[in-house]
Amino acid sequence: MFQLRRSPEVHDVVVIGSGAGGGTVTKVLTDAGINVTLLEAGPMLHPMTDFKEHVWPYQVDHRGAGPHSEMYFGKNIYGFSYFGAPAGNWTLDGEPYTVAEGSQFKWWRARIMGGRTNHYGRISLRFSDYDFKPYSFDGLGTDWPVSYDEMSPYYDKAEGFIGVTGTKEGLRTAPDGNFLPPIEPRVPEVLIQKACKSLNIPCIPSRMAMLTKPLNGRAACHYCGQCGRGCHTASAFTSSQAMIFPAMKTGKLKVITGAMARELITGDDGTVTAVSYVDKATRTDQQIRCRAVVVAASACESARLLLNSRSSKFPAGIANNSGMVGRNLTDTTGYDLSGHVPALDGLPRHNSDGIGGMHVYVPWWLLDDKKKDFPRGYHIEVGGGFDMPQIGSFHGQDGYGAALKSRLRYDYGAWVGFSGRGEMIPNANSYCEIDSGTVDQWGIPVLRFHFRWTDHEINQVRHMHNTFTSIIEAMGGKPEPKQFPAHGVDAVSIGGEIIHEAGTVRMHDDPKQGPLNRWCQAHEVKNLFVADAAPFLGNPDKNVTLTIVALAWRTAEYLAEEMRKGNV
Amino acid sequence: MSENISRRNLLRGLSISALASGAGLGTLAAAQQAHDAVAEGKKAAGGEYVPKAFNAHEYKTLRHLSDLIIPADEHSPGALAAGAADWIDFMASNSTELREIFTGGMGWLDHDMQRRYGADFVDAKPDEQTAMLDLIGIEKNAAPENEAGIHFFRWARNLVLDGYYTSPIGIKELGYMGNTAVAEFHVPKEALEYALKRSPFA
């Protein structure tokens, strides 16, 4: 039985979600002396016991395949990997979502303190000037009410706090930042750089949120390459370790875990007076009263909460008189190609772990090319080196015996991989809405997704295929046999698969065009803010997290100032 | 050259500085405990492995198959010494689906060997065994009448490779040298020169 409990206490600010956005808001507000109550739908994170850093596969009896061989039979019980940091999964028991007929969409949901920052790739790229003004740039999409110049100081703060490697390059497509020293390229990456140079493609030191020097009390990286497993020394950025745990020591933060937000309660004056959430442990509904609320539950989960918060004043969901909540859903495009490079066969063995992920990358380089058949662009993530063998590392081989064994030894570390990550232009067929016929295990109506790629994205991904082939061939390598499919849409990742959802509660100076103003504050509800990728007006080829942190930082400073002035 | 430092020392040093700065990375004791659990790992119980999923004949067949897939050579021990068959038996003991793929596959193998040579796979002559593996283990020889065997062999090869290359013997055979803490990251000059010399950029 549900039992409703209301707390008499009025909390200063309730933050919903503890990922990049919620973590940043929590840090900035508690630093400003404001009391924060943080709701996280998952459990508390305990890095020392939850992170499987440095565990060898043979130290686990199933070696990562799952106790009942789940991974061999397509039952993805671990999300990415048994060894990966706890961060959620593509499916959650008791928490369905639906996908409209004719659409495909995959929704990753984190349920853990720190959210997706516990596992993310940590690629940290500033958006460019034109990314904030896409409509002015080429007539597609919608301009942000914020410019690069307004964002730049917040990128400085974000980079200065989380720590980002990089070098000054002076490229418009990859604005320089406040960087830690870069890391040396691995052997395959040196060959990739040379191949790119021969093709007039820039390939520069990567910009990653790993510490090549100690920073803000966090130790420098020890180069084990396992950032995706979670880092005991917090040398790879997570909001949990770098933002929330320190905030918990200030005495200004109250954390409530296992708290699934159900609804924002509106008062007679149209402001949020309380947050209603399900305490999962007791299956009871709880309400906490607050002066202000910051929704940072991830783009689609934030839209869902707003749409489910209906009242006589907001029949279509709180702050949604524009009808724009849930619209303009985007993800990043993805396409991968690998190849064998004979120059690397028999490479003398050494430890090539480094930081987890690429040491060099290719920023977009054809901004001014008028001949290409798609707008905007993509960046290229590269891979190569001696990886720790895992379950599945050698699946799909041919042959057997001594010949197989010596071939695997000879070409170990002689493979390179390329992943294109490109910009999607928002379109009218890609959005999420409430599926009023389906509820989760707590009775909260779920989301239904609609998603379509257009020729913009398909042509872009075809360009990726041709580029990756050229780079591999320039290295004297042979791309894996992979024909670009007749229906190009089959080549693009499934919507949501790159886990960069954005745009579902967007900003706009015109309240009819976007629920949020330029401060990510709801036009219609002055004490309601959104601080994840939902406020974005576009989804450039520059992974969302750094901009989530920078924008959330700006939002939190504004909120703190408005509270000080008594406006909120 | 990178300086190798033990993880224990690294964690000790880092945790103290982290605590001093209030970054909240857990206590030194917790770090030590986590490290010790990893370092000790799972010690082998010792003695002979007793199969849990397969009968004696199946277990003998699987061991022999694993040896044929990854044999010992002058470079390193093979799948047999690395315990790949034991690991597959362990996995099959917790998955009916996996067990049936292997019992079914080995049943097909014996039946087909009996038809061809009048002997179970493991009792047939070495050249008869090789003739069979050439039919089901090499893609270009794939014939429709052997489809069940080919399907099984893909599973057998995948799991033998998994069991072998995730074992200490297999990791050493490949020469993977990471999963350790180092103070700095550097690429050895000789490795870079080796690759450049063989590349189009020589």
Q: Supply the ipTM of this predicted assembly.
A: 0.94
Contacts of A489 (CB under 8 A, 6+ apart): A453, A458
Cβ of A233 and B182 within 8 Å?
Answer: no
Across the interface, do B195 and A69 touch by the CB < 8 Å criterion? no
Strand A478-479 with A272-279, pairing: unpaired
B1 in a structural domain:
no
Mean pLDDT by groups of 10 residues along chain A of 568 residues? 69 97 98 98 97 97 98 92 93 97 97 96 98 98 98 98 98 98 98 98 98 97 97 98 98 98 96 98 97 98 98 96 98 97 98 98 96 97 97 97 98 98 98 97 98 98 98 97 90 97 98 98 98 98 98 98 96
Query: Domain check: are B70 and B152 in the same one?
Result: yes
> Both B11 and B73 in a single domain?
no
B28 has a chain A CB within 8 A of its CB: no
- What lies within 8 Å, CB to CB, of A557 at 6+ separation is A28, A32
Mutation target among B174, B177, B182, B196 for the A interface, most CBs of A within 10 A:
B174
- pLDDT at B150 > cutoff 50: yes
Report the alpha-carbon distance of residue B106 to residue B121 in Å, rounded. 9
**Residue B80 shares a structural domain with residue B154:** yes
- Tokens 């950025």 correspond to what residue? A237
Contact A63 B196 (CB under 8 A): no
Q: What does the mean pLDDT of chain B come to?
A: 84
Whether residue A471 contacts residue A194, with contact meaning beta carbons closer than 8 Å, is answered with no
Helix (H) or strand (E) holding A379: strand A378-384
Q: Over A482-551, what HEC string results?
A: CCCCCCHHHHCCCCCCCCCCECCCCECCCCCCCCECCCCEECCCCCEEECCCCCCCCECCCCCHHHHHHH
Cβ atoms within 10 Å, residue A19: 33
| Per-residue pLDDT at A80 | 87
Same domain, B70 and B143: yes
Six-digit token string for B188: 């050895």
Higher pLDDT, B11 or B107: B107
Nearest by CB to residue A57, choosing from B5, B133, B166, is B166
pLDDT per residue over A467-489, tens digit each?
999 999 999 999 998 889 999 99
Q: What is the DSSP string of A130-166?
A: HHH-HHHHHS-S---SS-HHHHHHHHHHHHHHH--B-
All residues of chain B having their beta carbon less than 8 Å from the beta carbon of residue A408 are: 161, 165, 174
B contact residues 136-165, partner A, Cβ 8 Å cutoff: 137-139, 153, 157-159, 161-163, 165
Is B49 inside any structural domain? no
Query: Does any domain span residue B32?
Result: yes
Residues of chain B contacting A61 with CB distance shorter than 8 Å: 42, 90
Whether A386 and B178 have beta carbons less than 8 Å apart is answered as yes
pLDDT at B33 over 90: no
Same domain assignment for residues B132 and B190: no
Q: Are residues B190 and B153 in the same domain?
A: no
CA distance to partner chain A, nearest, from residue B114 (Å): 22
Within 8 A of B137 by CB-CB distance, chain A residues are 399-400
How far is the C-alpha of A317 from the C-alpha of A325, rounded, in Å?
A: 8
Structure-block tokens of residue B29? 């004791």
**For residue B51, is it within any domain?**
no
Nearest to B177 among A60, A351, A409 (CB): A351
- Which residue of B38, B95, B157, B185 to mutate against A (max A Cβ within 10 Å)? B185
Interface with B, mutate which of A30, A197, A350, A412 (most B CBs under 10 A): A350
3-state secondary structure of A336: strand
Residue B171 within a domain: no
pLDDT of residue A3: 58
- A69–B162: do the CB atoms touch at under 8 Å? no
B48: in domain: no
CA–CA separation, B198 and B202 (whole Å): 7
In chain B, what residues touch A249 (CB-CB under 8 Å)?
22, 24
Residue A354 to chain B, least CA–CA distance (Å): 6
pLDDT at B21 over 60: no
Max CA separation in chain B (angstroms):
75
In this structure, are strands A378-384 and A415-422 parallel, antiparallel, or unpaired?
antiparallel
Distance from CA of A296 to the nearest CA of B (A): 23
Chain A residues with CB inside 8 Å of B44's CB? none
Q: Do A63 and B162 touch (CB under 8 A)?
A: yes
Q: Dump pLDDT digits (tens) for A142-153.
A: 999 999 999 999
Question: Which of A82, A233, A253 should be substituted to probe chain B, the one whose Cβ sees the most B Cβ atoms within 10 Å?
Answer: A233
B70 touches chain A (CB under 8 A): yes
Given CB atoms, is B16 within the 8 Å cutoff of chain A? no
Query: Closest residue of A to B12, CA-based?
Result: A233
Read out DSSP for A248-293? HTTT-EEEE-SEEEEEEEE-TTSSEEEEEEEETTTTEEEEEEEEEE
Best residue in B33, B91, B173, B196 for a mutation probing chain A (most A CBs within 10 Å):
B91
Q: Where is A197: in which H helix or E strand? A: helix A187-198
Order the strands of the A204-205 sheet from edge to edge: A204-205, A360-362, A378-384, A415-422, A333-340, A478-479
Residue in A closest to B193 by C-alpha? A187
Both tokens of A274, joined, read 């309380």
Helical (H) or strand (E) element with A33 = none
pLDDT at B20 over 50: no
Are B39 and B107 in a shared domain?
A: no
Name the residue with higher pLDDT: A190 or B31. A190
Q: Which of A13, A14, A17 is nearest to A300 (CA)?
A: A17
- Rounded distance, CA A249 to CA A267, Å? 33
Instruction: Report the alpha-carbon distance of residue A341 to residue A473 in Å, rounded.
Output: 9
What's the average model confidence in pLDDT over B149-165? 98
**Helix intervals (H) in A73-133:** 129-132
| Spacing of C-alpha A274 from chain mean position | 28
**CA distances from residue A518 to A27, A431, A546, B70 in whole angstroms, order as listed:** 21, 22, 18, 62
pLDDT at B31 over 90: no
pTM, rounded to two decimals: 0.93
- Nearest CA among A146, A449, A459 for reference residue A326: A449
Cβ distance A68 to B33 less than 8 Å, yes or no, reads: no
> Quick one: B61 and B159 in the same domain?
yes
- Is residue A208 classed as helix, strand or coil in its secondary structure? strand
B130 and B193, same structural domain? no
Q: Do B98 and A59 touch (CB under 8 A)?
A: no
On whether any CB of chain A is under 8 Å from the CB of B73, the answer is: yes
| Minimum CA–CA partner of B26 in chain A | A48
Q: Structural domain tally of chain B?
A: 2
Asked if A405 and B162 come within 8 Å (Cβ–Cβ), the reply is no
As a whole number, mean pLDDT of residues B134-152 equals: 97
Whole-angstrom distance, CA of residue A264 vs CA of residue A319: 11
* DSSP letters for A40-52: -SS----HHHH--
pLDDT (0 to 100) of residue B46: 55
Q: Output the CA torsion sign for A146, A147, A150, A151.
A: positive
Helix (H, G, I), strand (E, B), or coil: what is residue A479?
strand
DSSP structure class, residue A337: E
Angle between helix axes A455-474 and A187-198 (nearest 10 degrees) is 110
**Interchain contact, B75 vs A409, CB within 8 Å:** yes
Domain match, B29 and B109 both: no
**Residues spanned by the domain of B19:** 7-43+177-198
Contacts by residues A440-445 (CB-CB < 8 Å, ≥ 24 positions apart): A440/A94, A440/A95, A440/A96, A441/A94, A441/A95, A442/A260, A442/A262, A442/A278, A442/A280, A442/A283, A444/A260, A444/A262, A444/A278, A444/A304, A444/A308, A445/A304, A445/A308
Contact assignment for B195 to A190 by CB distance below 8 Å: yes
Q: Do B166 and A390 touch (CB under 8 A)?
A: yes
Contact A233 B11 (CB under 8 A): yes
Per DSSP bridges, beta strands A4-16 and A284-295 are: parallel
Q: Are B112 and B89 members of one domain?
A: yes
The pair of three-digit structure tokens given for residue A240, joined into one six-digit string: 């949990």
Residues B151, B104 share a domain = yes
Q: Cα torsion at A507, A511, A515, A518 (round to 10°)?
A: 30
Q: Are β-strands A36-39 and A253-256 bridged in parallel, bridged antiparallel, or unpaired?
A: parallel
Across the strands, what pairs with A22?
A: none
Most A CBs within 10 A among B192, B194, B196, hence the mutation to make, goes to: B192
Rounded Cα distance, A520 and A367, in Å:
29
Q: Distance between the two ends of chain B, CA-based, in angstroms?
A: 24
Residue A168's contacts (CB-CB under 8 Å, 6 or more residues apart) are A176, A179
